[in-house]
Structure 1
Amino acid sequence: MAEMTQLEERQIRDYVDSQTPEESGDEVDIVQKVGRRRVAHENHDLYDVWMTSGQRWWVITNMTNLYLQDDFKSLDQAFTYHIGLNAVLREQFAVQPDEEQVEVVGKPWRRYAGAVEALATAEEAEDFQAVGIRCRESLLALVRDNIGASWVRVHEDKPPQAANAKAWFGIFANSLTGNSKPRTYFKSLGERTWDLAVWLQHYVDASEIDAEIVLGATREVLRTFALLHADYSQPVEQRCPECDSYQVVKESSEVIEKDGAFGTLLHDECAACGWRSEQSFDEWPRERLRRLIDYKTGAWSPPRRSMEDLEVRDTDPGSA
């Protein structure tokens, strides 16, 4: 049996509970970690979960899913299905960015998705050339959306024209990172991908393979830009003071009342060694509390007197 931290066990319990209908009354009884497997550069943790009803689940991470052991008699069978399901989902959503990417490269990514769709129906050389045009438009959209951003540092007296994507990729690289290796990589990646897209646009003997290469390069530009932007925008990643691990996560309690205010207790916890920081109280604004109450629809509500007190505090000019 593989070792696991309390945090890891709690996360699996919470996941299974979230997938179990409340009206069933069934709860997680035992969580056992039964191993870890690595496929295609990704680790997958494997768990055997027992419910109070006697029902058992296989739970497999990345992307986390659960499989009824009545349907999958062996762990190998469940794991094989899990890997296949993940492959299908990744292919199905290959052109959909994650939440962070939507915020940073939403418009360019929509143009990239149009290029993917164009390839799906392409048959002749001119169709594959059109993929290059759409990829070029995606790269230009990335430039146009960011040339006026507050983080952009232009050292020249006169900034490049918006159509000069290669020059802007260099400016973006210099602005987003001081690390020479990622900076050089993104600058080179942007310039080479731009050249590829322009080449495909004019290549009269363009083929499906050519279009696939340009699509892959364009996607990598958008993905790398989003990663550099996230690294630039976020604080330095916290490391555990006990074991130096990066696996420090923010944990919170259920909503509680403290000194007449409502909120949650927060603490940092290391998934690698189990270290926990001191707790701090995070007071919730009135609107956030109301949204929670509406969402719960009666499953949780603070005492009526406390809610009335809350209303008084919000409307009292001297409460601020």
Structure 2
Amino acid sequence: MAEMNELEEHQIREYVTSQTAPGSADQVTLVQKVGRRRVARRKYDLYDVWMSSGKRWWVITNMTNLYSQDDFKSLEQAFTYHLGLNAVLHEQFKVQPAEEQNEHVGKSWRRYAGAIEAMVTAEEAEDFQAVGIRCRESLLALVRDNIDAPWVRVHGEKPQVANAKAWLGIFANSLTANSKPRAYLKSLGEKTWDLTVWLQHYVDASEVDAEIVLGATQELLRTFTLLRVGHEEQVEERCPKCDSYQVVKESSGLIEQEGHFGTLLYDECASCGWRSEEKFDQWSRERLQRLIDYKTGTWSPPRKSMEDFEVTASDESPQE
């Protein structure tokens, strides 16, 4: 059996509860970490989860999913299916961007999706050239959508819109404070643009040529998105004890404190177990009523007032 800390166990319990039947009588009774695998530089944690009904689940991370042991008798069978599912989702991701990508490169990605579709039916050299045209259009869309963005810093005269290489360099300067990522995005932008133009005019274009340009364009859009997201987000919080980035927000169950209902909020480090001071988050009457309505609509008889509400997590006396 592999080692597992309390926070890790809690997260798996919460995940299984949220995915099976929230509020049902069937509860998680045991979580066992049964291994860790590494495939193609990706790490997967494997868990055996027991329910009070006797049902058991395999839970596999990265991306986390669960599989009934009635359907997958062995862990190896579930893990193989999990890898296959991830591969399928990865292929879909080529033309279906994640939410943050759609926000920052939506129009560019739609044109890139057109390049993918063109590649599916491509047979002749001119078809592969058309893939290059679509990729080039994708980069131009990226420029048009961002040249007037508030985060863009232009020193001197603005380049023409069609000068994608110059604009991608400006984006790199505007989005990165570190010289290494800045140089990488600049180089990636210049080389990807040159590849799209080359493929567009290459009369002997082949499938391999088109795949190279597709891959380069996708990587540019992905890198740009990562830098855009990072530019907007605050610096990740680090543990004051061990300096780890694995600090997560946690909360207690619903409790009563000084006559008020709410939860205790705190930060916890998954690496060393450090825990911050707790802060009481008082719930509004409306929020409590929504919880009552949910509870009563699931397994309890209807209750009409706040006085009828019983909080199982607050059996202890209120904290001073």
* TM bucket normalised to smaller: 0.7 to 0.9
Which range is displaced more, 24-33 or 195-204? 24-33
Partner of 2:83: 83
Secondary structure at the counterpart of residue 18 of structure 1: helix
**C-alpha distance 82-214 of structure 1, shift in aligned 2 (>3 A):** same
1:30-69 mapped onto 2 (5 Å cutoff): 30-69=30-69
Q: Is the 8 A contact 2:289 2:306 kept in 1?
A: no
Partner of 2:239: 240
Partner of 2:270: 271
Partner of 2:118: 118
Deviations 1:134-154 (A, max 9, x none): 111110111111111111111
Aligned pairs, number: 304
**C-alpha distance 284-91 of structure 1, shift in aligned 2 (>3 A):** farther
Deviations 1:200-255 (A, max 9, x none): 11111111111111111001111000111122211111111122211111223456
Give distance in 1, aligned partners of 2:285 and 2:228.
32
Shift of 1:304: 4.8
Which range is displaced more, 181-190 or 238-247? 238-247
**C-alpha distance 54-128 of structure 1, shift in aligned 2 (>3 A):** same
Give distance in 1, aligned partners of 2:251 and 2:24.
26
Letter in 2 for 1:96: Q
Partner of 1:10: 10
> 5+ residue gaps in structure 1?
307-320
Partner of 1:250: 249
Q: Does 1:136 align with 2:136?
A: yes
Partner of 1:153: 153
TM-score, normalising length: structure 2: 0.85
> 5+ residue gaps in structure 2?
308-320
Give distance in 2, aligned partners of 1:46 and 1:55.
17
Letter in 2 for 1:21: A
Give distance in 1, aligned partners of 2:248 and 2:23.
31
Q: CA RMSD in A?
A: 2.8
**C-alpha distance 109-264 of structure 1, shift in aligned 2 (>3 A):** farther
Letter in 2 for 1:57: W
Identity among equivalent pairs (%):
72
Q: Is the 8 A contact 2:132 2:199 kept in 1?
A: yes
Partner of 1:315: none
Partner of 1:182: 181
Q: Is the 8 A contact 1:30 1:49 kept in 2?
A: yes
Shift of 1:69: 2.1
Give distance in 2, aligned partners of 1:215 and 1:284.
50
Shift of 1:61: 0.6
Q: Is the 8 A contact 2:94 2:113 kept in 1?
A: no
TM-score, normalising length: structure 1: 0.85
Q: Is the 8 A contact 1:5 1:273 kept in 2?
A: no
Deviations 1:57-106 (A, max 9, x none): 11111111112223323222221221122112221332222121111111
Give distance in 2, aligned partners of 1:303 and 1:280.
30
Q: Is the 8 A contact 2:129 2:200 kept in 1?
A: yes
Give distance in 1, aligned partners of 2:15 and 2:263.
20
Give distance in 2, aligned partners of 1:33 and 1:250.
22
Shift of 1:17: 1.1
Partner of 1:312: none
Secondary structure at the counterpart of residue 35 of structure 1: strand
